[in-house]
């Protein structure tokens, strides 16, 4: 495979195989085993807009596997401010590295980069478009909690219009036959083209503004932040901000094994009172970014993960 731009680049079987690989790499991700599968390989981290978890987890994943990382650094001090095109930047980094992880404010930038590059591109978010590596870690987290992906009832809440994580995740979960409930303010509803794509693939969808009545029989509640930076109109943001605030008190009647996820950072959509409940899973989810990205780096670089890691891996 060339790269990972959208979830359409992976079959369901490939997704499950990558999740299995990630599972086996957990001791490496946790620093309990040294496994330099990617020694001598270099990852180019190109983040044209801010990122904490995605950039750091890519870097951690590469280093845990013995590889190295070069960073674009702050866009303000790079050639981008001098007017360099994405095409030119990619030509340069393509020559320096074996694989590129990138985030860009414009939609389609990752596909554009893949068309410009000879090395695989991992899309770490393109505008309000896709975020497939986040989806892989989300799927990993869901399967870890429920032991399966198929047939679950998943509520996604918050900014569904601009939230690229929910765009990619909803496509993937639909492929595994999950029921999807989209809870959002009217202004931040899931884009119509995504709804029509999901419907064309036989999705079971409910759209609502009422989050709290939908969580009682859910298996997963996926909260998202209302993203101020995506609004051009301050008044619109003010109308939507604070639409949902999940508090521990809301969880009295939910399923015992329901999990609450969030791509982070959160603002006030999940109250800290939820953190200590058995449902909170967002910090493990953030950690899972390392292990999912380790498996993806191996897959895209064509490096097989040995069957018996105990024999191959060393102690730290």
Active-site amino acid positions: 53-54, 82, 103, 131
Q: Which is nearer to other proteins, 113 or 254 (CB)?
A: 113
**Distance, CA of 220 to CA of 155 (rounded, Å):** 6
Answer yes or no whether residue 6 interacts with other proteins by CB under 8 A. Answer: yes
Q: Could you say which of 56, 108, 245, 284 contacts other proteins (CB under 8 A)? A: 108
Short-list 283, 270, 310, 39, CA closest to 137: 283
Site residues for other proteins, 248-277, by CB under 8 A, read none
- Kindly state the greatest CA–CA separation across the chain: 59
Nearer to other proteins, 85 or 206 (CB): 85
> Which tokens in the block code for residue 137?
């870690």
C-beta closer to other proteins: residue 134 or 141 = 134
Q: Is the dihedral of CA 300, 119, 2, 45 positive or negative?
A: positive
Q: Least distance to other proteins from the beta carbon of 88, Å?
A: 9
Nearest distance from C-beta of residue 173 to other proteins, angstroms = 18
- Show contacts with other proteins in window 124-143 (CB under 8 A): 126-129
Taking the least distance from each CB to other proteins, the nearer of 199 and 206 is 199
Residue 35 CA: distances (Å) to CA of 77, 90, 204: 35, 29, 42
**Angle between the N-to-C axes of helices 53-64 and 132-146, in degrees from 0 to 180, rounded to the nearest 10:** 80
Question: Shortest gap between Cβ of 104 and other proteins (angstroms)?
Answer: 7
In this structure, are residues 305 and 37 in contact, taking their beta carbons and an 8 Å threshold? yes
Answer yes or no whether residue 184 interacts with other proteins by CB under 8 A: no
User: Within 75-94, which residues bind other proteins (CB under 8 A)?
Assistant: 83, 85-87
At residue 182, the 3 state secondary structure works out as strand
Residue 294: closest CA among 283, 284, 305: 305
Q: Minimal distance in Å, beta carbon 62 to other proteins?
A: 25
Give contact residues for other proteins (rule: CB under 8 A).
6, 83, 85-87, 104-109, 111-112, 115-116, 126-129, 193
């Amino acid at each position: 495979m060339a790269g990972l731009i959208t979830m359409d680049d992976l079959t369901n079987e490939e997704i499950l195989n990558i999740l299995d690989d990630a599972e086996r790499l957990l001791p490496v991700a946790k620093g309990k085993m040294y496994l330099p599968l990617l020694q001598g390989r270099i990852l180019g981290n190109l983040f044209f807009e801010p990122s904490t978890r995605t950039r750091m987890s890519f870097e951690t994943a590469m280093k845990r596997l013995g590889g190295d990382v070069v960073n674009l650094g702050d866009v303000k001090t790079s050639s981008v401010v001098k007017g360099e095109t994405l095409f030119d930047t990619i030509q340069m980094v393509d020559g320096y590295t074996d694989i590129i992880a990138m985030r860009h404010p414009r939609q389609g930038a990752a596909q554009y980069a893949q068309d410009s590059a000879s090395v695989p591109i991992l899309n770490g978010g393109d505008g309000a478009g896709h975020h497939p590596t986040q989806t892989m870690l989300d799927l990993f987290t869901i399967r870890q909690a429920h032991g399966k992906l198929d047939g679950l009832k998943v509520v996604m809440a918050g900014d569904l219009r601009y939230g690229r994580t929910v765009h990619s995740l909803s496509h993937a979960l639909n492929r595994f036959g999950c029921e999807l409930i989209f809870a959002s303010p009217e202004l931040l509803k899931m884009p119509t083209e995504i709804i029509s794509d999901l419907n064309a693939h036989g999705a079971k969808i409910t759209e609502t503004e009422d989050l709290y009545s939908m969580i009682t029989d859910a298996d997963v509640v996926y909260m998202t932040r209302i993203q101020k930076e995506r609004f051009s109109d301050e008044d619109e943001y003010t109308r939507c901000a604070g639409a949902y605030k999940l508090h521990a008190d809301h969880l009295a009647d939910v399923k015992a094994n329901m999990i609450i996820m969030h791509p982070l950072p959160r603002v006030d959509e999940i109250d800290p009172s939820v953190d200590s409940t058995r449902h909170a899973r967002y910090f493990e989810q953030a950690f899972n970014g390392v292990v999912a990205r380790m498996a993806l780096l191996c897959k895209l670089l064509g490096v097989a993960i040995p069957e018996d890691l105990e024999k191959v891996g060393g102690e730290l």
